[in-house]
């Protein structure tokens, strides 16, 4: 029973991170119809930025902020310079481009930061919290993970619901032509969308890295989990991405705890195939599928 509870708790914490990553994918998918596979190395690069700041003797929080800011800048830069020329062209070109970026960022990080495992600090204790004499698998950093993802999600909801910029971003995601006719600077909104998505991705990267090891490829499996979570939620819905992330996190945690950690990625693949076969529109799809 205790193991069951602890596995579920670990899964919930991980699920929050997957949710954040899925949210980053969904933000970009909604605005530009691109699945940004380069999200993983982008988050990896910003985490290394944080590591460099922290290793230079500054506090964890300065590194944290530096990573988020560099995520913002990196996302805006990549959209404006690399992705913009292929927007609206054949979608396969955009995907190939993100994969090219994937390789480039990967290799650059390996050259600049070194192709080895480095430990990443955590701002809070990694000891499990004791409740009524038993230690549960939820530590200070886990709570921080959950809270920070919730805060970011709340901010995003507030941005999209209650601000003028958010309305414009939704308009340009919904229909570029009409938004442009109504005077929305669609290009700027797309850049902003990428920047925000990259920021959320960076947060996920930092949360995965905390108290663990980082390596140029440490986020590679996370992009898969993020994608599966996003597809679970329908790829188009931010709320769906969050729920999908939590479901996936808990399921994978059980696979890892009761079967074997090597099979976690396989379990994600199986879940993805089941969803695509049974409910390709995601778990919450109501409307009829778009034909072709």
Partner 1 sequence: MRARISSLRDHVLARHLAAALLGLVVVVMVLESVSDYRNTQLASMAYLGIAAGGLTVLTGLNGQLSLGHGALMAIGAYTSALLLPDNESSLPLSVVVLVAVVVTLAVGAAVGLAAARLHGPYLAGATLALAVAVPGIALYFKETLGGEQGLRVVMPDIPVWVLDAVFFVTGQDLTRSRFTAYVAWLTLIVVFVLLANLGAGRTGRRWRAVRDDEVAAELAGIDLGRARVSAFMVSAAAAGAAGAILAFTVKLAAPSAFTLTLSLTLLAAIVLGGLGSLAGALIGAALLTFLPSVVTDIGTDAGLSDIQAAELAPLVYGLVMVAVILLAPAGIVGSLRGALLRARARRRTPASAEPPATGTTSGTGTTTDPHADTTETAGTTPATTSKGTAS
Residue whose CB is less far from partner 1, 151 or 274: 274
List 8, 52, 62, 82, residue binding partner 1 (CB under 8 A): 82
The b-or-e profile of 173-198 (16+ CB within 10 A means b, else e) is beebeebeeeebebeebbbbbbbbbb
Q: Are 246 and 283 in contact (CB under 8 A)?
A: no
DSSP codes, 21-42:
HHHHHHHHHHHHS---TTHHHH
List 3, 55, 58, 104, residue binding partner 1 (CB under 8 A): 104
Q: Is 264 in the site for partner 1 (CB under 8 A)?
A: yes
Measure the CA–CA gap between 100 and 55, rounded to whole angstroms.
30
Q: Is 125 in the site for partner 1 (CB under 8 A)?
A: no
DSSP SS3 for 58 = coil
Identify which of 142, 149, 147, 138 has the alpha carbon closest to the alpha carbon of residue 241.
149
Least distance CB 281 / partner 1 (angstroms) = 10
| Interface segment toward partner 1; rule CB under 8 A; list 8-16, 53-61, 93-101, 241-249 | 93-101
List 130, 164, 277, 286, residue binding partner 1 (CB under 8 A): 277
Q: Is 231 in the site for partner 1 (CB under 8 A)?
A: yes
Query: Which residues, listed in sequence order, are joined to residue 130 by a DSSP beta bridge?
Result: 135
**DSSP letter, residue 116:** S
| Interface segment toward partner 1; rule CB under 8 A; list 10-18, 147-155, 188-196, 213-221 | 213-221
Q: Mark 30-69 with x for binding to partner 1 (rule: CB under 8 A) and - for no binding.
A: ---x-x-x--------------------------------
List 3, 5, 61, 107, residue binding partner 1 (CB under 8 A): 107
Residue whose CB is less far from partner 1, 3 or 115: 115
Identify which of 222, 223, 243, 247 has the alpha carbon closest to the alpha carbon of residue 233.
243
User: Hey, what are 133's tokens?
Assistant: 């004499």
User: Hey, what are 38's tokens?
Assistant: 């380069």
Least distance CB 176 / partner 1 (angstroms) = 6
Measure the CA–CA gap between 207 and 225, rounded to whole angstroms.
15
List 2, 3, 115, 119, residue binding partner 1 (CB under 8 A): 115
């Amino acid at each position: 029973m205790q193991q069951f509870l602890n596995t579920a708790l670990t899964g919930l914490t991980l699920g929050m991170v997957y949710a954040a990553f899925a949210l980053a994918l969904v933000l970009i998918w909604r605005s530009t119809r691109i699945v940004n596979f380069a999200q993983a190395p982008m988050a990896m690069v910003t985490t290394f930025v944080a590591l460099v700041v922290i290793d230079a003797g500054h506090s964890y929080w300065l590194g944290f902020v530096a990573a988020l800011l560099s995520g913002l800048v990196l996302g805006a830069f990549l959209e404006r310079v690399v992705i913009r020329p292929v927007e609206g062209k054949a979608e396969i070109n955009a995907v190939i481009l993100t994969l090219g970026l994937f390789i480039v960022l990967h290799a650059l990080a390996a050259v600049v930061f070194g192709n080895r495992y480095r430990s990443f600090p955590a701002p809070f204790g990694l000891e499990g919290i004791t409740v009524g004499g038993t230690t549960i698998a939820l530590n200070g950093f886990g709570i921080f993970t959950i809270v920070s993802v919730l805060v970011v999600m709340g901010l995003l909801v507030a941005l999209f619901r209650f601000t003028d910029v958010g309305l414009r971003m939704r308009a340009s995601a919904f229909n570029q032509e009409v938004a442009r006719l109504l005077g929305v600077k669609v290009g700027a909104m797309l850049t902003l969308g990428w920047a925000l998505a990259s920021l959320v991705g960076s947060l996920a990267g930092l949360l995965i890295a905390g108290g663990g090891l980082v390596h140029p490829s440490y986020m590679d499996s996370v992009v898969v989990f993020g994608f599966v979570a996003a597809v679970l939620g329908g790829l188009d819905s931010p709320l769906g991405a969050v729920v999908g992330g939590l479901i996936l996190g808990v399921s994978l945690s059980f696979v890892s705890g009761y079967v074997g950690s090597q099979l976690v990625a396989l379990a994600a693949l199986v879940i993805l195939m089941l969803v695509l076969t049974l409910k390709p529109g995601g778990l919450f799809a109501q409307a009829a599928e778009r034909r072709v």
